[in-house]
C-alpha cells in the first residue's frame, strides 16, 4: 500500500515538474522572439589600396538590410545585404568610371542572452559581385566578376522593447579575386575585404 502511495506521489511530482518546466520554457520563448528584421547604417572601409586611391576615399557610409532567425540554444542564422558604389574620372580621357560592389552575408551568431543587453559573436561567408563601367565613347573596357570570402563579427543587441531592439557591431571581411591583368601596383589580386562598424534598428517577433 505504501509503495503504491509513494509511486502515485512520485508520478504526480514528475507530472507537476514537467508541466512547470514546459511552462517556463514557453515563457522563455515568449520573452525571446524568434525573428529579427531591420536596417542598418554603417561605416564601410575597403581594404584594396588601388580602389581607395583611384576613387579618393577610405571610408563611405552605407545603408543595408539584415534579418536573423533563432534556431536552437542561443544561435541565430543571420543574413545581410548592402551595396558599395563610387565613381571618379579617368586620368587621361576624363571619362566617368563607376564602380559597384554588391555584398551578401550569411552566417551564424551566438548571443549571450542576459535580458536587456545581449552581447554576440558571429562568423560566416561573404558573397560578392562587382562591376566597373566607363561611360562615354572609349576603347577602354569595363570589368565584372565575383568572389567568395568570410567574415567575423562582434557586438551587442540592446532590447528597447519586446518588439524593438538596436544593435551595435564591428565586422571584418576577407575576400580576394585573382585577376587576368595586373592592377596599377602590379598586384594580380583584387582585395575586396573590408572593415565595417555600425548601428542597426530591428523589429523582433
Residue 179 grid coordinates: 585577376
Residue 127 grid coordinates: 558573397
Spatial neighbors of 17 by CB under 8 A, at least 6 apart, are none
Between the alpha carbon of residue 96 and those of residues 15, 91, 92, the distances in Å are 74, 10, 11
Spatial neighbors of 171 by CB under 8 A, at least 6 apart, are 105, 151, 152, 153, 195, 196, 197
163 and 178 Cβ atoms separated by less than 8 Å: no
pLDDT in tens, 72-131: 989 999 999 999 999 998 877 788 999 999 999 999 999 998 889 999 999 999 999 999
pTM: predicted TM-score of the whole model, two decimal places: 0.81
Residue 13 grid coordinates: 511530482
**pLDDT higher than 80, residue 16:** no
CA angle 92, 98, 101 (to 5 degrees): 140
Residue entry with cell 545581449: 118
Cα–chain-centroid distance for residue 73?
20
Mean pLDDT value of segment 30-44? 89
Mode of pairing for the β-strands spanning 143-159 and 164-174: antiparallel
In the predicted model, what is the mean pLDDT of the chain?
85
How confident is the model at residue 31, as a pLDDT? 57
Residue 71 grid coordinates: 534556431
Amino acid at each position: 500500500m505504501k509503495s503504491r502511495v509513494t509511486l502515485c506521489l512520485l508520478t504526480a511530482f514528475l507530472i507537476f515538474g514537467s508541466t512547470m518546466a514546459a511552462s517556463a520554457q514557453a515563457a522563455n520563448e515568449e520573452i525571446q522572439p524568434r525573428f529579427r528584421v531591420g536596417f542598418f547604417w554603417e561605416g564601410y572601409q575597403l581594404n584594396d589600396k588601388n580602389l581607395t586611391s583611384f576613387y579618393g576615399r577610405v571610408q563611405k557610409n552605407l545603408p543595408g538590410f539584415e534579418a536573423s532567425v533563432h534556431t536552437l540554444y542561443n544561435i541565430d542564422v543571420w543574413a545581410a545585404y548592402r551595396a558599395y558604389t563610387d565613381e571618379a574620372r579617368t586620368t587621361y580621357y576624363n571619362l566617368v568610371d563607376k564602380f559597384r560592389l554588391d555584398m551578401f552575408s550569411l552566417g551564424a551568431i551566438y548571443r549571450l542572452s542576459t535580458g536587456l543587453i545581449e552581447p554576440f559573436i558571429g562568423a560566416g561567408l561573404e558573397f560578392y559581385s562587382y562591376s566597373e563601367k566607363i561611360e562615354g565613347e572609349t576603347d577602354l573596357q569595363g570589368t565584372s566578376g565575383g568572389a567568395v570570402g568570410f567574415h567575423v563579427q562582434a557586438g551587442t543587441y540592446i532590447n528597447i522593447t519586446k518588439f524593438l531592439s538596436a544593435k551595435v557591431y564591428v565586422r571584418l571581411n576577407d575576400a580576394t579575386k585573382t585577376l587576368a591583368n595586373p592592377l596599377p601596383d602590379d598586384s594580380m589580386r583584387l582585395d575586396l575585404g573590408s572593415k565595417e562598424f555600425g548601428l542597426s534598428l530591428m523589429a523582433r517577433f
